[in-house]
Amino acid sequence: MMTTTHTALAHVAPASIAAPRSISIFGATGSVGASTLDLVRLDPGAYRVVALTAQTQATELAALAREFSAEVAVIGDPAQHQALAAALAGTKTQVWSGPQGLLDAADLDADWTMAAIVGCAGLAPIMRSLLRGRCVALANKEALVSAGALMIEAAHTSGATLLPVDSEHNAIFQCLAGGRIDEVESITLTASGGPFRQWTLDQMRVAGPEQAVAHPNWSMGAKISVDSATMFNKGLELIEAHHLFPVGLENIRILVHPQSVIHSMVEYRDRSTLAQLGAPDMRIPIASALGWPRRIVTNCAPLDLATIGQLTFEPLDDVRFPGPGICRAAIAAGGGAPAILNAANEIAVSAFLGKRIGFLDIAAIVSQVLARYSPSAPQSLQDVLGIDAEARAEARCIIEAKD
């Protein structure tokens, strides 16, 4: 990574890229995995697919493993092992399953690994890849939120390269090219405002899952779409930015930008502000990470500012959207608070998608769990997973009391 930035992202100078580049994709059947493979399809000879993983979609995973001649296919759910093996019969692809299969896949020698398993389920294989000194493209924000200090320490110790894939953090990474982190005055994360940007609290109180997942700009999975609607996603991204770009929590800001064209901005000490612009297409930040330290060709639509017409900005309304404030308080508190927050939010979002709680209950439940449970700072991955499990149990108790 860029040795000039002196951030948690910059550990070693990049090795030269030789074709074909060997890659592994954890979470191959999700939206980020699908976008990554779309880019690979543009120049298949430039890549050798080492491992593809999925949690339950054995049929889809098998189809991808066949298409890309993957050396290994891993299904997270052991119950789907036989289905995957049958679907890949007659191929050279090895079939593994379960948590150990994911760890074994992380041990494989790949030049570049996409970490796109949703939630804390992706934490163990990400940590394994970092400890092996791999180049990891991080699309799983929950892992860094729950175990950010441990992940950064692992990357520093092993010399791993950590490339941000979230559009906001990838934008910051690009804006820091040629600069130094100690020259940065502030960082601004932009937020679309989600589908409820102009809704009142009374309207949001009766909003259902179908409305919450209807993001105006981005095509994403259900969980992250709800996080966008609550704006917890922006709070989680603030925690990520705090770990990746150590400029001080007070110097990381959030600005609502409905067009989702400017993805983040970096203001330097001389008051120059650099912004990264692009269409709201996840393939753009993924391509930045996939090609790094070079740039690769994509088939994404070019940015047409004349058609867009104008770019607008609004302050964050922390009354209607308390999520970012809750996240800022959690990272300021430190210890196990960020892991608690992440776990409670995952459980609350799942309950909302299952129509067991209301939309506004999500933030309330997260706040209640944070208030009830206060463990010491995690010292290991097992500590993080233990905090995660206890926070989930506490959140479930609160939800069950509402039923």
Catalogue the long-range contacts made by 124-129 (C-beta closer than 8 Å, 24 or more residues apart): 124/99, 124/381, 124/385, 125/26, 125/53, 126/26, 126/151, 127/151, 127/154, 127/381, 128/103, 129/160
pLDDT at position 373? 81
Which H helix or E strand runs over 186? Answer: strand 184-191
CB atoms within 10 A of CB 206: 10
Edge-to-edge strands of the sheet including 252-256? Answer: 252-256, 184-191, 262-268, 273-277
Q: Residue 48 forms beta bridges with which residues?
A: 22
pLDDT above 70 covers a percentage of the chain that reads 95
What's the rounded Cα separation, in Å, for the pair 262 and 274? 10
Whether the Cβ atoms of residue 75 and residue 61 lie closer than 8 Å to each other: yes
Dihedral angle at the C-alpha atoms of 392, 393, 395, 398, nearest 10 degrees? 170
- Any idea which of 24-33, 73-82, 371-380 has the lowest mean pLDDT? 371-380
* Integer Cα distance of 346 and 366 in angstroms: 9
Tell me the domain boundaries of the chain: 171-402
Name which CATH class applies to 171-402: mainly alpha
Q: What is the pLDDT of residue 80?
A: 97
Q: In this model, does residue 15 exceed pLDDT 70?
A: no
Q: What is the mean pLDDT of residues 4-14?
A: 42
pLDDT of residue 302: 93
Q: Which two tokens stand for residue 195?
A: 């589908």
Model pLDDT, residue 18? 55
Rounded CA-CA distance 42/32 in Å is 16
pLDDT at 55 over 50: yes
What pLDDT score does 219 carry? 64
Per residue in 310-320, pLDDT (tens digit) is 999 999 999 99
The HSE-up count of residue 313 (CA atoms within 13 Å, CB side) is: 12
pLDDT tens for each residue of 157-212: 999 999 999 999 999 999 999 789 999 999 999 999 999 999 999 999 999 999 99
pLDDT at 8 over 70: no
Q: How far apart are CA 242 and CA 148, in angstroms?
A: 9
pLDDT tens digits for 222-257?
A: 888 899 999 999 999 999 999 999 999 999 999 999
pTM for this prediction? 0.89
Name the DSSP letter for residue 5. Answer: S
* pLDDT, greater one: 7 or 228: 228
Average of per-residue pLDDT values in the chain: 92
Separation CA 221–CA 327 (nearest Å):
21
Q: pLDDT band at 216, cuts 50/70/90?
A: confident
